Chains A and B, each alone.
Chain A
């Protein structure tokens, strides 16, 4: 993408890039003739689309690391499920099983629990009021 100062008929130059940390991006562009500055603001989906391509608006400041997209974006590290816990989860009706699994997963993740066991499920159920799950 490029920006044109219509009044001056001048291509605007990239100024700075800001990543507020909420998935959005702000990039400023300045007209070299009149000094007018505009900001391009992208929503999280647009920002993600650009970063998915492995490119950076404003140019790269550091060289690409090996597997940087895969390592930075693939979801890993969720808690493991013990065999007993998996068996118990399998008895949850299939239409809510995914939601229940996520609830227990989030519970474990929030508390730094690396393996979900039936005991962890019991504790979570009591704390979260999930009787029957």
Chain B
């Protein structure tokens, strides 16, 4: 009996072609984006979204068109940070003219992300649904010409891996950590995954510096991965703090 790859007649479903069309749509939408930067840490609570939003605003103030894709589908915070809640036609325009798309635009106020579908064993399809939502955020938004599209990733590696698959290549990565050794160890895994996938490491942002969180995470990781520490963000940063970071991207 012949096997799958030995059956070569045209397939009316054309599933491979449908996937190819999805990828083409993403590529066409992002054709005007000069650079895609994934903001990641692999760890929660280090301030990725806060850094993302403020760097985006700093770039926008420097007259660089910038967009933010809130890839944290289950905990979207970008709409709040950029002060946009709902929009009928993404992208929404946030503070300083930053374009953004977020699952927060589609959810009722305070509602968790839930999908219609069979409840039993929903883990089987939920990941695919979230990946498709991410693909639509990339491919269905009229981003136009952007200097930078910042992708605010949730904790963990799953969304980053989905992103690499959807884009067809690995985006540049801006890493965020706090100074503690616990954060360093979690962020190291994310950076190693980024290197393994072929991402360019742009550098490290050390957030929440100068008070309770003691450690040398940024310096340790910078040495280990031969990448610069781009900024150390104090507890009360000023617009100049973000402008300085933006100028180094």
Contact = CB atoms under 8 A, between A and B. Distances in A.
Interface of A: 2, 4, 6, 9, 11, 13-14, 23, 44-45, 48-49, 52-60, 64, 66-78, 80
Contacts of A48: 117-118, 124-125
A69 B136 contact: yes
A45 B119 CA distance: 9
Interface in B5-39: 7-9, 11-15, 18-19, 21-22, 25
Contacts of B107: 74, 76
Contact of B13 (A11, A58, A78): A58
Contacts of B124: 45, 48-49
B121 interface: yes
A73 B115 contact: yes
Given A56-B18, A59-B14, A74-B115, A9 B125 contact: no
Interface of B: 1-2, 4, 7-9, 11-15, 18-19, 21-22, 25, 90, 103, 106-109, 111, 113-118, 120-121, 124-126, 128-129, 132-133, 135-136, 140
B46 to A, nearest CB: 27
B117 A57 contact: no
A66 B140 contact: yes
A59 B15 CA distance: 7
A69 B133 contact: yes
A32 to B, nearest CB: 9
A52 B125 contact: yes
A70 B134 CA distance: 9
Contacts of B109: 80
Given A52-B129, A64-B25, A74-B116, 13 more contacts: A13-B9, A13-B12, A14-B11, A44-B117, A45-B125, A49-B125, A54-B18, A66-B136, A67-B140, A68-B136, A75-B111, A76-B108, A78-B111
A49 B8 CA distance: 25
A3 B174 CA distance: 46
Given A45-B124, A70-B133, A55 B117 contact: no
Nearest to A72: B116
Closest CB pairs A-B (n = 4): A52-B128, A66-B140, A75-B114, A44-B118
Contacts of A59: 12-14, 18
